[in-house]
Amino acid sequence: MSSKLLYLKKIFPGVALALVFFLFSQGINNVLAIEIFGTPKSPISTVLIAILLGILMGNAFTPRPGMMVGLDFTQQYILKLGIIFLGIRLSFEEFVKFGSIAIPLIIICIIGVLILIKLLIKKVPISSKMSYLIAIGTSVCGATAIVATAPVINAKKTEVAYAIANITLFGVIAMLLYPYFAEWFFNEDKLKAGLFLGTSIHETSQVAAAGLIYDQQFNSPETLNVATVTKLIRNTFLVIMIPLFAFLYNRGKVKNNQYSILNIFPYFVLGFIGMIIIRNLGDQIFSIENNYNLLWLNFIEYLKILATAFLTMAMAAVGISINLGELKSMGYKPFVVGLIAAVTVGFISLIYIQTLSKFFI
């Protein structure tokens, strides 16, 4: 048997489990909507049901090691494929418009969190390495940023674990609550809600899930699009922030060259942009060839459905992987810093959107 077939056999149980959770969550959503509430859609989205079920099952039963291989694959690759497929929803004009609005807000949020963390560690004694990891995880792109930053500042494994636990805990809480808060606070303004979700939630997967929850509950594809574009632009700031952190941490020390722009760049962003290009080229071509227009529209809808399915599978896998016992055993000081940082980035986002958005939106 070839190595590829062996690998597929290895990841299949975990991927299949994530798929089952997606289908089960969709079934629960339909039952809640039709049988209990008598409405077209449930007040609880499929994504929300999937991650809550994942957390419940993952902590009630210990997943087998063989199952975790497929679940990790789902979190890493199926998630990114789902995000790439989200690009089929956007036009060039929307991407440029949303991106130009988001960039000033992203920069302000990053600077605000970095300043806050610098001030906080004087009051809450945690290591400087931990503070760097929490800062970049909160302000840029969650666990990916933490893992990419750790080598350039020589962070210990325990510090990395604490920082990732921080991001996971507060990111998941924000993912579950912020879509409903954004709808209320911004009074159904879809663009502002998307900007808020894209800048105030840590992980790419969490932002995509929050945007999907908002779309499913409040019928707003635009909010999902804005949140996704905003978050992907945040991710590209890794290219700037990690060399900056390496410089700041290693000033006066032996230079540390354990990072590479090629290694840290989030390439799935290019896939997302590529999907936008495909969508726009397809619209141009098939608007002329009317005989194929319906086929093209069906293809777009198919990719949208796949994006939703893949993201929901990924969030179920994330939920299964969250060990509440481990979070409890890690101590409170780093979590205090993480909580304040998470609240601050959300507060900065709200203030910017409400007071300065008239100049950009």
pLDDT in tens, 179-216: 999 999 998 899 999 999 999 998 888 898 899 899 98
2 in a domain, yes or no? no
Q: Confidence class of residue 250 from pLDDT cuts 50, 70 and 90?
A: low
1-51 per-position pLDDT tens digit? 577 788 888 899 999 999 999 999 888 888 876 667 666 666 677 887 888
**Would you say 162 and 334 are in contact if contact means Cβ atoms under 8 Å apart?**
yes
Q: Confidence class of residue 55 from pLDDT cuts 50, 70 and 90?
A: confident
Residue 260: the pLDDT is 61
Q: Confidence class of residue 283 from pLDDT cuts 50, 70 and 90?
A: confident
186 in a domain, yes or no? yes
The two tokens of residue 190 are: 């879809």
The two tokens of residue 226 are: 């804005």
Q: Confidence class of residue 258 from pLDDT cuts 50, 70 and 90?
A: low
**Measuring CA to CA, how many Å separate 157 from each of 4, 21, 27, 167, 257?**
31, 31, 40, 15, 19
Rounded to the nearest 5 degrees, what angle is found at the Cα of 165, between the Cα atoms of 159 and 63?
Answer: 120
The two tokens of residue 162 are: 């604490």
Encoded amino acid at 256, one letter: N
3 in a domain, yes or no? no
Q: Confidence class of residue 166 from pLDDT cuts 50, 70 and 90?
A: confident
Of 241, 248, 250, nearest to 149 by C-alpha is 241
**Would you say 346 and 174 are in contact if contact means Cβ atoms under 8 Å apart?**
yes
Residue 42: the pLDDT is 66
pTM: 0.81
268-278 per-position pLDDT tens digit? 888 888 999 99
Number of domains in the chain: 1
DSSP letter at 151 equals G
102 in a domain, yes or no? yes
Encoded amino acid at 161, one letter: A
Of 36, 348, 338, nearest to 167 by C-alpha is 338
Number of H helices, E strands in the chain: 17, 0
The per-residue pLDDT of the chain, averaged, comes to 82
Least confidently predicted of 127-136, 156-165, 213-222, 247-256: 247-256
168 in a domain, yes or no? yes
**Would you say 231 and 86 are in contact if contact means Cβ atoms under 8 Å apart?**
no
> What count of Cα atoms within 13 Å lies in the side-chain half-sphere of residue 10?
12
**Would you say 46 and 100 are in contact if contact means Cβ atoms under 8 Å apart?**
no
291 in a domain, yes or no? yes
236-245 per-position pLDDT tens digit? 888 778 777 7
Dihedral (CA of 49, 55, 60, 62) sign = positive
112 in a domain, yes or no? yes
Of 153, 116, 159, 111, nearest to 334 by C-alpha is 159
119 in a domain, yes or no? yes
CATH of the domain at 174: 1.20.1530
The two tokens of residue 123 are: 């009051």
Domain that holds residue 314: 9-360
